[in-house]
A and B are shown apart, each in its own frame.
Chain A
Amino acid sequence: MKRRDFLKSVSGLAAGAVLPAAPSVISSAKADARSETLLIVSEGGPNNLDIHGVGTNVPGYEVSWNCYDRLISHEMKSGPGGVPYYDRDKFKGELADDMKIDDMSVTFKLKKNAKFHDGTPVTAKDVKWSLDRAVTVGGFPTFQMSAGSLTKAEQFVVIDDSTVRVDFAKKDRLTVPDLAVIVPCIINSELVKKNASEKDPWGLEYTKQQTAGSGAYKVTKWTAGTEVIMERNEDWVGGPMPKIKRVIWRMVPQAGNRRALLERGDADISYELPFKDFQEMKANGKLNVVSLPFSNGIQYIGMNVTKPPFDNPKVRQAMAYAMPYQKIMDAVLFGLGNPMFGAAKDKATEVAWPQQTKYFTDMEKAKALLAEAGYANGFETTISFDLNFAGVNEPLCVLVQESLAQLGIKTTINKVPGANWRTELNKKEMPLFTNVFSGWLDYPEYFFYWCYHGNNSVFNTMSYKSSEMDKLIDGARTAASTGDKTAYDADVKGFVDLAFADVPRIPLYQPFVNVAMQKNISGYQYWFHRRLDYRAMAKG
């Protein structure tokens, strides 16, 4: 009896402690607002609303993409599973009405009725000022511009109020695509100049806190680390008027809660969930889950080729045969990735990237190769990964460790805190590690230039140097700019073959970007930056 009293009182207490959420008190005006509002939940939010700012993070790119316009953007095509996917080769005007490409320059005519959020018209001098800013502020924006050979302010010429010319520094096939990435956004120059200071001539402090663009949305409230609220710009001319009036983007750190919010129907869209959750949500069919491969992206195992034992190509090949590929696909990714291994023996190399290697798990072959290299009894090494992506990296490294143990290779796992990961990569001392690289510009030579070229960029994490490789990469870049298709194809096939034979890095899989949304949300588009484009979305 006493026990029953106790149970009764406890459950009564718990029930009393929680008031019903009471939808009845929500007025009908609020219900209307709900149907025109998109509620996004994600783990992290922006730290700066301007992509030109110092250390702007990836969520900040999403704000920039939706609140600023560029001269040009990409057309859409039908991608895997019928999901709209940006078309690498087709451009359309956003602020520009017309684009004319000449031999050594490209000329843009601006849309006549384009206005910034404060009502001032968009003019050629705003365009010049914005592009000048991108190539001069330093850091990431300047670096991204230089990837398309856009390095000097003199390259941007005002012809008249609504005409701008961009001069090419040299022939480079990436120059025009580089004008359609997030960085060359057009900013309200008069407004920002008014709020600039001597110490901050480009007004970075001002644009950090508010958007000063002409884009389809404008930020009306931003509480760092908590929420971003964006309202539609009713005067937008960059494209068809977006259907979503208001976007509320809330930061919810707990992945479990994000899933609960989706499944209860309280949130409209979320990304950054564990693969297992995505796979389960896909299976139960209550939500729309879109999974698309990262364009030009690969998760790989890298080896430092400057130090033994990985300076020996035989050892590296042995490693490539010892990777537990299929286990990684099944147990780590739950199938949400494209395998980058196990191509048929007689398959010809394609002029494409990424593509599958001919490696597959074959412990006998690995053993034989190791013995040939003089490591029949194995060796000791350390595998490192970035803790920021521990959800994938940790189980992956454990599987690799297990597999290598069969060859007598003793592997210690080194977990590197996110803040430290880049420093460690830059030092180029880690013997064995896993990482992802994905390029905004989807061209094989772009990927190889950053990851395999002997100029040893941050992303050539293996310190790989080969004069033959450099020759092929440089050759492909030149061939692409001059339009020499035969030479280009030969060079691309050449560097892919060499990268697979020498295997300084072992491609594992092409990761997927996963987005879960309510069934009534439509219009999701895949972009090279992998963030959301609200402009095409609709609810209901």
Chain B
Amino acid sequence: MQSILRNTRAALAYLGTNPKMVAGMAILAVLLLIGIIGPLFVDIRLAEPISVRTNQPPSAEHWLGTDSGGRDLLAVVIAGTPQTLRMGVLAGVIGTTIGVMLGLFSGYFGGWWDRIIGAVTDTMLTIPPLAILLVVASSVRAVNVEMMALIIAALSWMHATRVIRAQVLALRELGYVQMARLSGLGSFSIIFREIFPNVIPIAFASLVGATSGAILSGMGLEVLGLGPQNTPTLGMTVYWALLYAAFSRGMWWWWSPPVIILALLFIALFLIASALDDFANPRLRSQS
């Protein structure tokens, strides 16, 4: 337990000086603040259709203008950004938890289970996630944010399984694990008390990657019009903008806020994942 605390302190000390981590966290904090502080200043009920005059360019009254459906786009951004984050984090946490468990067991026990899990992981990795999501989302018409997160989580565990398994294979043969085994400690204790603490940095990197992947899949469904219909989300805003030809009508204020926020979100998650990678593989550090 003490070693976990010490490791956490070392990790925080390192990550606090990593410029990628600092930049990524700063962007993420700004995006979170939009969702937290925004509703205090802007009435997010204006994100509902037919609540304001349509097709207005940005003005003092509507800072980001309004769309053809009569939504205030600033309200849409404020209401939609937290939804996107919530969906991504939910799917990422569920997917990574499944992935880490499978990776730990498959790497530690080896044998048939390892072969089966390995084959399933490799097979699933080559399936374009969008293909499966399409079939599910188009059959289950009324999806909400939580359901979407669950569906996406079912397709986002493979990466964690793969990297954790590889790591466990190496750790399994180390002296202290052999000692633990010889001293009669049970397999589950060895896995969770001796091996798991050593894969935490990699599990965190996978979590950030899975969250980013989940937001990507969710956005893919939304821009095809398969997202939640009753919740304003960033992806659905892009879908409406494209459907009503915002591009050729010169309504740049309609499509650009969700695109910019999504891009910033992906950049922030990428920077954080990359910093965690630097921490987990010290070999990369000197090079960046």
Say whether A associates with B: no
Q: Which residues from chain B sit less than 8 Å from chain A, CB to CB? A: none
